[in-house]
Amino acid sequence: MPITIPLTLSSEMPTVVQVTTSSEQRECVVVTGASTGIGAASARELARRGFHVLAGVRRDCDADALRAPGIEPVILDITQPDHIAELATRVGSQAGALRALVNNAAISVNAPVEALPLEEWRRLFEVNLFGHVAVTQALLPALLRHCGRVVNISSVGGKIAMATYGPYAGTKFALEAVSDALRRELTPLGVQVVVIEPGGIRTEMADRGIATTSRLAEAMSPQQRDRYGPLVQAVTAQTAAFTTSGRSADDAARVIAKAVTAGKPRTRYTIGRDAALLTRLSRVLPDRMLDRILAAGLRPYYPKTTTA
């Protein structure tokens, strides 16, 4: 960002000198889970808006693909304390203020509650919840110094848990609760907390989630396959359909950038008509009626020889 500085030389007219602001002096935003999808799109959108983005990625090849003016990739696994410590050190060395932390890293798993091994439950919570808490704790001193904000990427699954979404929705319900508590703790201290609730988004994460669901379904016992096989197939087909017709990652990135830059951000933003509709229904409908609506919506996706 060029800064115009007038320099007066003796009695002559002022001479204008153009000075370029370095990345170290620009406001900084940290985005976790920026290798692909919403995270990568958000890093690009925030860089376009003039921020210096520290973009957390898992692999060197992802860093090479994302690196661009305004984007500094950093190797970051949010379940690794040493990675988080290195990130906090890098933020501390940044001359520009830390404007926001965007907690976006996540993995997607769909499986019946009975059928998902406990180690998979723990891995899911480590990434989708505990990792975010760890990064937030590490960067809060910088956010407090600069009156920054925390933007937590939740999901429509943080408001409504459909069949086989128990593990994933469990992490997002928990993230919503942590976000509410954090907002009430930090607002008096000048730090705002915002939650983003996307619905169907066309990203690589959705494809990876479907692949993981298929892998876990194959590992179910014969009895579990009898109980849940058609349900898992229906949910997988419905998820693929919703993803194909969903919003783009760039659309989601613009909402996230708004949450970062708005003078008075809302506490929550939904992304997509499906997210807006489902979150409203979850607030106003009795549980049993909502169960019937969700079951009816899933029924067309069951295998043809199976009745829901």
User: CB neighbours of 198 closer than 8 A, spacing ≥ 6?
Assistant: 38, 153, 155, 156, 247, 252, 270, 271, 272, 275
Confidence at residue 228, expressed as pLDDT on a 0 to 100 scale: 94
Confidence at residue 24, expressed as pLDDT on a 0 to 100 scale: 58
Confidence at residue 33, expressed as pLDDT on a 0 to 100 scale: 97
Confidence at residue 242, expressed as pLDDT on a 0 to 100 scale: 79
Q: CA angle 230-235-240, nearest 5°?
A: 130
CA distance 138 to 18: 37
Confidence at residue 13, expressed as pLDDT on a 0 to 100 scale: 40
* Backbone CA torsion sign across 137, 200, 67, 256: negative
Confidence at residue 8, expressed as pLDDT on a 0 to 100 scale: 37
Confidence at residue 219, expressed as pLDDT on a 0 to 100 scale: 87
* Cβ atoms of 168 and 243 closer than 8 Å: no
* Cβ atoms of 209 and 235 closer than 8 Å: no
pTM of the model: 0.87
Confidence at residue 196, expressed as pLDDT on a 0 to 100 scale: 98
Is 168 considered catalytic here?
yes
Confidence at residue 244, expressed as pLDDT on a 0 to 100 scale: 79
Confidence at residue 4, expressed as pLDDT on a 0 to 100 scale: 39
CATH (one of 3.40.50.300, 3.40.50.720, 2.60.120.10, 2.40.70.10) for 22-202+248-290: 3.40.50.720
Confidence at residue 256, expressed as pLDDT on a 0 to 100 scale: 98
Confidence at residue 206, expressed as pLDDT on a 0 to 100 scale: 67
Which residue stretches of the chain have pLDDT < 50?
Answer: 1-21
Q: What is the pLDDT of residues 193-249, one digit of tens each?
A: 999 999 988 877 766 777 787 888 888 999 999 999 999 999 999 988 877 778 999
Q: Could you say which of 168, 228, 269, 301 is catalytic?
A: 168
* Backbone CA torsion sign across 37, 259, 240, 165: positive
User: CB neighbours of 147 closer than 8 A, spacing ≥ 6?
Assistant: 190, 191
The DSSP secondary-structure symbol of 68 reads: B
